[in-house]
Amino acid sequence: MATASRVRRQLPVSPWLFAAPGLLVIGAFVLYPFVSTLINAFTDRRTLIEGEFVGLANFRELLHDDMFWIGLRNSTLYVLGVVPALVVLPLLLALLVQKNIPGIAFFRSAFYTPVVASIVVVGLIWVWLLDERGLVNAVLETIGVGRVGFLSDQWLLLLSAMAVTVWKGLGYYMIIYLAALANVPRELHEAAAVDGAGAVRRFLTVTVPAVRSTMVLVGALSSVAAFKVFSEVYLMAGPSGGPAGEDTTLVMLVQRTGTGLTGRVGYASAISVVVFVITVALMLLVLRADRRSET
Amino acid sequence: MPVSRRKLAAALAVCVVLPLSACGSGDDGGSSDASGKIEGDITFQTWNLRANFKDYFEGLIADFEKKHPGTHVKWVDQPAEGYADKISADAAGGTLPDVVNVSPDLVAPLAKAGLALDLDKDAGQYRKEYLDGAWASHQIPGMSGTYAFPWYLNTGPLFYNKSLFEKAGLPADQPPTTYDELFEDALTIAEKTDGKVATLANVPTVEDFGRYGVPLMNQEGTGFAFNDPKGVELLTKYKELYDAKALDPQALTATPESSGKKFLTEAVAMNPGSALDLGNFKKQAPNLYKNIGITDQITSTGHVNMYVMGVMVNSQTKRKPAAIAFAHYVTDAQRQMSFAKKVAIFPSTAGSLDDPYFTEEDGTDETRVRVAAAKSLKNAVNYTPVLFSEQMKTELRNEVAKALQGKESPKEALDNAVKACDRLLQQQG
């Protein structure tokens, strides 16, 4: 019995040694910051000053902070604007480049290029294009439409940032769809064609059901990314978050509130906790919708 | 090979704690007394200066080490972007360098957190070497003491595009010299160009309110006061300019960099700058350079605005005598003068601005700007309150934008901005 209990209390060391580097990294860069953020959310900690426990005061303040509601509105609008486009358009793009015809590799690479480009470079290029005196406005002026304030109107700014997110994300999700499309049996398409189904019908009745789980994955990934948007809006609307801060997103608010020598780390952590909760809820919502449509 | 849980737990604990132990600063027996011997290793951090001035700083450090045998200065340079965040992280993590290049708004929170050395106490003997205004620029309202050596100063003229003035029927050799003239000319240019050329590219900042003669803080330094009638008057004038497109429509989201670019591309007629910009105009916009006009900063107070850089000593340094000696060495009259001859900045040491380098023109635009700037610096003011944090700047900017868009009246907007800034000030402690 004693030997058996000693054996039970002993663990093989090798798996732990293999896992140790990963565990250390996760512990230091994921778990510790996460727990620390959770704790800070209930304190009035500032960058250089240790805070005291303030209970739910930060969350109560959030309810009365106009900028928080603006951030929540913009992040939500971002999800609603970007996710449908990123679920559908890359699929269409993948169908276009799926066929093995001469020169198609060039188009596949071209569509993927924005993914590997630096977001800062991409953002700056779009700022130049959409500037009052940029290329897009020059074209609009030439055809008689007149100048459009893409970078000075709060809604056009948000829409422009969404367009950049979609443009930059197309190639990434296209690759995911290409992998899914490769697994769709050709016989299904052939059978549908024999039954007289046209291209649109085949797309709706064969392709979409076959890649539905991939669409859910893309929906989940893009909705989380869209809700946490920062770079595109920051680069196009500026550090103040557009005119009067009306284009501020929640993550921008976290950055603005919690960084710098006078940053309110406790309050910014409370906003981060809200972002985390909403992000998890979004994931659950997408997965639940998928499960419901399966039954 | 099986191993017991206890041994495994101990091994993991060692793995976790061992790397962290490297973060400790360790006590190497240094001196925390300012009057002790100047010796030991110190770290000096600059703000985006390595790219252009590597040789200057390496020479300066070598000279210091030669003058004080037994000292070793490790120089680190941080990029301009995110500099405040880098200092924040170092300050919070206890790894702040011994000597740090700072601006007054960075010093304030560090001093409040007890991380900046009070030079009035530990290095008061050097005070007389610097201009009074420059020395005072690192004093914090509500605290006694001075928390950084003043380093270089900068100010600059207002550049204007003569060609755009002429196109609007305005005399190119008579730029505006008062706020009334500025607003009048701006409205004329907007009207004559059908709103295609704006005169200004930035919304008013706290510095603009100060230069207009608006009191920025109350006497005690415990609250902001830029919502007074004079402040409302300035914002009302900017609203008129915005409506007439005399203020660039993208001003609400502009940064100093973006407005500088607008001036380069001749989309706006005027822009503040410094002697450094002349070289940029010559290189990047030769057409603009041919038409460049240079005039004085417009101010209602008689004092132009100046920017001040400082060198702070970390109060937690273990090599206090060496850190103070080095911070003083970097900022003394000889070093500042030699640095000023390498780049278009101005020394903060007493008497340096009377050097012929800053008083005699040779007929070029560069020397004209330099001499005019040096003259105006003698009674210049750093309008931005040291307690005005980045968050406060954003609050003011957003409220100003609401007033310009007509969502709030100028009075409401400034009242809201003052309220928000006061709240942030209280939260700073």
CA distance A137 to chain B (A): 13
Tell me, what CATH number does B99's domain have? 3.40.190.10
Looking at the structure, tell me whether residues B226 and B253 fall in a common domain. Answer: yes
* A100 within 8 A of A181, measured Cβ to Cβ: no
Confirm whether B209 is domain-assigned: yes
Confirm whether A40 is domain-assigned: no
A243·B405 Cβ contact <8 A: yes
Confirm whether B49 is domain-assigned: yes
Nearest CA to B127 out of B355, B380, B331 is that of B331
**Residue numbers of the domain that contains B98:** 40-155+306-377
Interface ipTM > 0.85: no
- Residue B314 is classified by DSSP as B
Chain A CB contacts of B193 below 8 Å: none
Encode A214-229 in three state secondary structure: HHHHHHHHHHHHHHCC
Compute the mean pLDDT over every residue in chain B, rounded to the nearest whole number: 88
pLDDT number for residue A184: 86
Looking at the structure, tell me whether residues B133 and B188 fall in a common domain. Answer: no
Banded pLDDT at A56 (limits 50, 70, 90): very high
Confirm whether A168 is domain-assigned: yes
Confirm whether B30 is domain-assigned: no
Return the CA Rg of chain A: 24
Confirm whether A27 is domain-assigned: no
Ranges A34-43, B113-122, B252-261: which has the least confidence: B252-261
* Tally of domains in chain A: 1
Q: Which amino acid is at B422?
A: D
* Domain end among B362, B377, B392: B377
Q: How many CA atoms lie within 13 A of B193 on its CB side?
A: 28
Banded pLDDT at B31 (limits 50, 70, 90): low
Looking at the structure, tell me whether residues B49 and B120 fall in a common domain. Answer: yes
Looking at the structure, tell me whether residues B146 and B165 fall in a common domain. Answer: no
Is residue B112 less than 8 Å (CB to CB) from chain A? yes
Looking at the structure, tell me whether residues B298 and B408 fall in a common domain. Answer: yes
Reading the block at residue B376, the tokens are 């105006």
A133·B267 Cβ contact <8 A: yes
Q: Report the Cα A213 to chain-centroid distance in Å.
A: 18
Average pLDDT of span A128-153? 90
Confirm whether A17 is domain-assigned: no
Confirm whether A246 is domain-assigned: yes
Banded pLDDT at B32 (limits 50, 70, 90): low
Looking at the structure, tell me whether residues B180 and B250 fall in a common domain. Answer: yes
* A248 within 8 A of A256, measured Cβ to Cβ: yes
In the predicted structure, residue B34 carries a pLDDT above the cut 80: no
DSSP of A252-278, one letter per residue? HHHHHHH-STT--HHHHHHHHHHHHHH
pLDDT number for residue B82: 81
Looking at the structure, tell me whether residues B281 and B413 fall in a common domain. Answer: yes
A244·B399 Cβ contact <8 A: yes
Question: How many interface pairs between A and B have CB atoms less than 8 angstroms apart?
Answer: 122
Looking at the structure, tell me whether residues B198 and B175 fall in a common domain. Answer: yes
Looking at the structure, tell me whether residues B224 and B334 fall in a common domain. Answer: no
pLDDT number for residue B404: 96
Encode A93-123 in three state secondary structure: HHHHHHCCCCCHHHHHHHHHHHHHCCHHHHH
Confirm whether A2 is domain-assigned: no
Confirm whether A4 is domain-assigned: no
Residues A12-38 pLDDT 10s:
888 889 999 999 999 999 999 999 999
* Tally of domains in chain B: 2
**Residue numbers of the domain that contains A255:** 58-294
Confirm whether B399 is domain-assigned: yes
Residues in chain A whose Cβ is within 8 Å of chain B: 7, 9-14, 16, 20, 24, 27, 44, 46-49, 131-133, 149, 151-152, 157, 237-245, 256-257, 259-264
Confirm whether B24 is domain-assigned: no
In the predicted structure, residue B6 carries a pLDDT above the cut 60: no
Nearest CA to B383 out of B151, B148, B204 is that of B204
* B349 within 8 A of B269, measured Cβ to Cβ: no
Chain B CB contacts of A131 below 8 Å: 250
Nearest CA to B145 out of B172, B108, B99 is that of B108
Is residue B287 less than 8 Å (CB to CB) from chain A? no
Distance CA A39, CA A35 (A): 6
* Domain end among B377, B402, B418: B377
Contacts of A214 (CB under 8 A, 6+ apart): A176, A177, A179, A180
Is residue B85 less than 8 Å (CB to CB) from chain A? yes
pLDDT number for residue A10: 64
pLDDT number for residue A180: 92
Residues B376-423 pLDDT 10s:
888 888 999 999 988 899 999 999 999 999 999 999 999 999 999 999
Looking at the structure, tell me whether residues B254 and B108 fall in a common domain. Answer: no
In the predicted structure, residue B20 carries a pLDDT above the cut 50: no
Residues B276-318 pLDDT 10s:
788 788 888 888 998 999 888 999 999 999 899 999 999 999 9
Tell me, what CATH number does A100's domain have? 1.10.3720.10
Q: How many CA atoms lie within 13 A of B35 on its CB side?
A: 3
Looking at the structure, tell me whether residues B131 and B219 fall in a common domain. Answer: no
Confirm whether B257 is domain-assigned: yes
Confirm whether A208 is domain-assigned: yes
In the predicted structure, residue B234 carries a pLDDT above the cut 70: yes
* B328 within 8 A of B149, measured Cβ to Cβ: yes
In the predicted structure, residue A291 carries a pLDDT above the cut 80: no
Is residue B95 less than 8 Å (CB to CB) from chain A? no
Looking at the structure, tell me whether residues B311 and B296 fall in a common domain. Answer: no
A239·B398 Cβ contact <8 A: no
Other residues' Cβ atoms within 10 Å of the Cβ of residue B264? 18
